[in-house]
Amino acid sequence: MSAETLARWQFGITTVYHFLFVPITIALSLLVAVMQTIWVRTGAEKMLQLTKFFGKLFLINFAMGVVTGIVQEFQFGMNWSEYSRFVGDIFGAPLALEALLAFFLESVFLGIWIFGWDRLPKKVHLAMIWLAAIGTMISAVFILAANSWMQNPVGAKFNPATDRAEMTNLLTVLTNPVNLITLPHVLVAAYLTAGGLILGVSGWHLAKLGRSGELAGKQLDQRAAWTWATKFGAWVMIVAGVLSIATGDIQGKVVTAEQPIKMAAAEGLCNSTQSAGFSIVAFGVDCSKPDSGFAVTVPGVFSYLGKGDVNATMEGINDLNKKYATEGFTTNDLQVQAKDRLTAAGVTDFAPSIPVTFWSFRMMIALGMIGILIGLWALLATRKGRLPKGGKLWTAAMIAAPLAPLFANSFGWIMAEMGRQPFIVYGVLPVSAAWSPGVSAFEVGLTMVLYTLIYGALAVVEVGLLLHYIKLGLPDVEEPKVLTDDDAPLSFAY
Amino acid sequence: MVDATVLQTLWFILIAVLWIGYLVLEGFDYGVAMLIPFLGKNDKERRVMVNTVGPVWDGNEVWLLTAGGATFAAFPAWYATLFSGLYLPLFLVLVGLIIRGVSFEYRSKHPDSKWRHTFDWMAATGSFIVSLVFGVGFANFILGLPVAADAKLTSLFVLEPRPYFWQLFSPFGLLGGVVLVALFLFHGSLYLSLKTKGELHDRAKGFAAKVGLVAIVGGAAFLIWQQFVHPTGLIGWGLLVLAALGLVSAWWFNNAGRDGIAFVSTAATILFVAVGIFTAMWPGLGFRDAAGAALSPLNVTTASSTPYTLTLMTVAAVIFVPIVLAYTTWTYWVFRRRLSIENIPDEVPATA
């Protein structure tokens, strides 16, 4: 395998892996902050227990997000040095701002939150988790601005003297239409996932209590806590799920406008079609052969997804390929300027892989829908304070509650990033012209094997810890007090 | 718009500041982590050590991430050539950062002693690797990494010859690695003695007295050697004297029982050493021309972003760096108390 292919796999593996921890970090930080806020306002012991319980799961997850995130920041330069040089004037700024505005906020205030229970008054301590949660969201704003720029490189021009893209307007970069819709979609998907984690864990405990016969003493308190958390998680899932459909719908229209060939590939649409249908399944579509493949299609729906009108014409891969070959990409200045370079680079097929985009798109939708349905079922099963009956299907649903939305996130990203192929900067810089020429296949291959081993081992440890603490259930808590005696034991320390 | 040269100079200085923040702050938590398996005689003592850095280590590491991000944003060509050129060393840094990063968090999650030993050694090993590689790295920046334009992508500079790996381990490079490890051990043991009470404090102080001598001798050798491989004139010698005074003062005040001044002294030493290194990296950014020209073709002018981007970043830095400094300072104030084994609660029995 060439160094370039290996570098692509390495980016795929490390990025998908990193993003398994990101949604929980973004959303669970804020949901834990909500729990702690309710505790501070009401003094209800169960809310402190839930804060500490989900706080611990959050931290186990957060550690993985941090360490895998460092790899992300380094690997642009390591594996994609020509890309880094070419786009650094634009792409570097959001990364630097993310570190300065978001990472400091997250890390510093989370550190105080973890160790500060005995050091700070209640309300000040509460502010720490809110600040950390805000930090995670600011981080999303900048990294998605950077990613959206790769999808739709606005606010930049090509400078022949320096042979690179240069920023003309930061505001245009930040208000990129792709960014404005990707940001809310990614955020609500994160809440769908974290809501799923809260629901899954709580619903599982609730069903366990339901099997223990007559409840007494502590069990009644646990039942109250888990019931609250189950409903809370379910509501978060439902609201976030509905919003992810709404934002996803808008995003489909933005992508159709900015990257029509990505949408065409996600449907396997070879030729421009009026009132194009949405395929539930499709196999063997090959646009170089007429009428190839098999598909089960619902008429008009794809046109509606892309343009909000069942009668609209959706452009197909073949027609788009022809158009790009003659006119180049024309959505923004940088693309217009890049036309001759693309011709010189000999890029003729501008379409991403059909099966990858097609199936990742559908997996995202299906898994997200499953998440919403689980949320609805959980609400139904716990209405009027009932205990869910449990059973195999319930257990399966509780396991799927976090996992289905989590993998929906992964598939959404796979669609977005694979759908940008063959470009690293859409319509401007092909991936094949962006990697590090000084790095050998041996180096990339070696590090990829080692990353995989380390990440695999860490996954075992992380999942083991999560399951351990999930099974332990709610911790015993005592009201934290600010310590004044220097020799007194802390109520909590590592 | 501000003149490009002014902005480039400013951002070179700012990146140096971010590195100094990282080396001064994370330097001590690397030192503490390397010492966990050696200075903590029982689990409670090791927990004291972990808790002295627990609230702050992650924030300390962000200085490195910000330095990386700022290099990408302000000098993309520097970032591109450096990170791809030092591929395997940077991979080692990443491995070190990964295994130490999870260790602080995960060691506490099981009382099992085997589990904890594993993570203690991971924290120590990871911190050691990162310190060593950065030490070797900075020594090589002083020497200058040879660069030439890539044959095909002619705007991109690559290290020449490729692969550039074994060349990094010259005697001067190796000495840099050893000295940085010794310096961080000294800095970390002084931090420990500043932040702890009782036996652990005395042990940290005793260790500092020993490792301090290694740091003084090794540091002096390295700094003097540096003046010959890459002379920076009076400034260089001046910074050398200041750094040496810092080391001696740290050693002296540690022995005199003045933990605070001793710690500030190693912090000052790291500052002076880093300023000296960055002075040597001006204006070639730690590169030199592989063909032998006096000025590296990859330098503070050719590597930089546009004045537009640099101006925007300057605005952000002027606003947010002081804010970050303010709340970071506050964290250290919140956790200002010394810790002892008395402060560490027993393991809470598992509640089912």
CA distances from A269 to A206, A289, A291 (A): 47, 12, 11
Which of A84, A163, A433 is opposite residue B79, by nearest beta carbon? A84
- What confidence score (pLDDT) does residue B351 get? 41
Please give the model's pTM, rounded to 2 decimal places. 0.96
Where would I find the H helices in A276-391?
301-307, 317-327, 333-345, 354-381
Residue of chain A whose alpha carbon sits nearest to that of B337: A486
Alpha carbons A360 and A366: distance in angstroms, whole number: 10
* Cβ separation A88–B79 shorter than 8 A: yes
Residue type, A96: A
* Cβ separation A108–B328 shorter than 8 A: yes
Angle, helices A260-267 vs A218-258, to 10°: value is: 120
Min Cα distance A93 → chain B (Å) is 5
* Cβ separation A465–B106 shorter than 8 A: yes
Which of B80, B101, B338 is opposite residue A66, by nearest beta carbon? B101
Residues ≥6 apart with Cβ < 8 Å to A428: A153, A165, A329, A334, A335, A338, A341, A342
Which of B62, B79, B152 is opposite residue A99, by nearest beta carbon? B62
In chain B, residues with a C-beta closer than 8 Å to the C-beta of A100 are 66, 69-70, 316-317, 320-321, 324
Min Cα distance A143 → chain B (Å) is 12
* Cβ separation B72–A474 shorter than 8 A: no
Q: Per-residue pLDDT tens for B127-148?
A: 999 999 999 999 999 999 999 9
Q: What percent of chain B has pLDDT over 70?
A: 98
- At residue B162 the predicted structure's pLDDT band, cuts being 50, 70 and 90, is confident
Min Cα distance B101 → chain A (Å) is 6
- pLDDT tens, position by position, for chain A (494 residues)? 889 999 999 999 999 999 999 999 999 999 999 999 999 999 999 999 999 999 999 999 999 999 999 999 999 999 999 999 999 999 999 999 999 999 999 999 999 999 999 999 999 999 999 999 999 999 999 999 999 999 999 999 999 999 999 999 999 999 999 999 999 999 999 999 999 999 999 999 999 999 888 888 899 999 999 999 999 999 999 999 999 999 999 999 999 999 999 999 999 999 999 999 999 999 999 998 888 888 899 999 999 999 999 999 999 999 999 999 999 999 999 999 998 888 888 888 999 999 999 999 999 999 999 999 999 999 999 998 889 988 999 999 999 999 999 999 999 999 999 999 999 999 999 999 999 998 999 999 999 999 999 999 999 999 999 999 999 999 999 888 888 888 888 888 88
- What confidence score (pLDDT) does residue B348 get? 59
The position carrying tokens 């900015």 is: A258
- Rounded mean pLDDT of B60-85? 97
- What confidence score (pLDDT) does residue A488 get? 84
Q: At A278, phi and psi to the nearest 5?
A: -105, 125
Where would I find the H helices in A19-162?
22-42, 45-79, 81-97, 104-115, 122-151
Task: Give residues 297 to 316 of B whose Cβ lies within 8 Å of A.
Answer: 305-306, 308-309, 312-313, 316
* Cβ separation B324–A100 shorter than 8 A: yes
With left for phi above 0 and alpha for psi between -120 and 50, is residue B144 left, alpha or beta? Answer: left
In chain A, residues with a C-beta closer than 8 Å to the C-beta of B335 are 112, 115-116, 119
| Cis peptide leading into residue B146 (ω within 30°) | no
How many C-beta neighbours within 10 Å does residue A34 have?
16
* Cβ separation A164–B320 shorter than 8 A: no
Q: Which of A331, A301, A333 is nearest to A420 (CA)?
A: A331
- What confidence score (pLDDT) does residue B352 get? 37
Min Cα distance B109 → chain A (Å) is 7
DSSP tag of A387: P
Which of A447, A474, A487 is opposite residue B91, by nearest beta carbon? A447
Alpha carbons B305 and B308: distance in angstroms, whole number: 8
CA distances from A223 to A154, A217, A386 (A): 53, 10, 10
Min Cα distance A214 → chain B (Å) is 18
Residue of chain B whose alpha carbon sits nearest to that of A473: B352
Alpha carbons A44 and A305: distance in angstroms, whole number: 46
Give the A:B interface size as CB pairs under 8 Å.
271
Min Cα distance A290 → chain B (Å) is 39
- Rounded mean pLDDT of B313-319? 97
Residue of chain B whose alpha carbon sits nearest to that of A452: B95
Q: Per-residue pLDDT tens for B51-69?
A: 999 999 999 999 999 999 9
- What confidence score (pLDDT) does residue A341 get? 83
* Cβ separation A96–B343 shorter than 8 A: no
Q: Which of A473, A488, A223, A255 is nearest to A357 (CA)?
A: A255
Min Cα distance A291 → chain B (Å) is 41
Q: Is the pLDDT of residue B350 over 50?
A: no
- What confidence score (pLDDT) does residue B1 get? 62
- Rounded mean pLDDT of B14-32? 98
Alpha carbons B214 and B254: distance in angstroms, whole number: 15
The position carrying tokens 């931290």 is: A59
Where would I find the H helices in A211-300?
218-258, 260-267
In chain A, residues with a C-beta closer than 8 Å to the C-beta of B70 are 96, 99-100
In chain A, residues with a C-beta closer than 8 Å to the C-beta of B109 are 60, 465, 468-469
- Rounded mean pLDDT of B166-173? 96
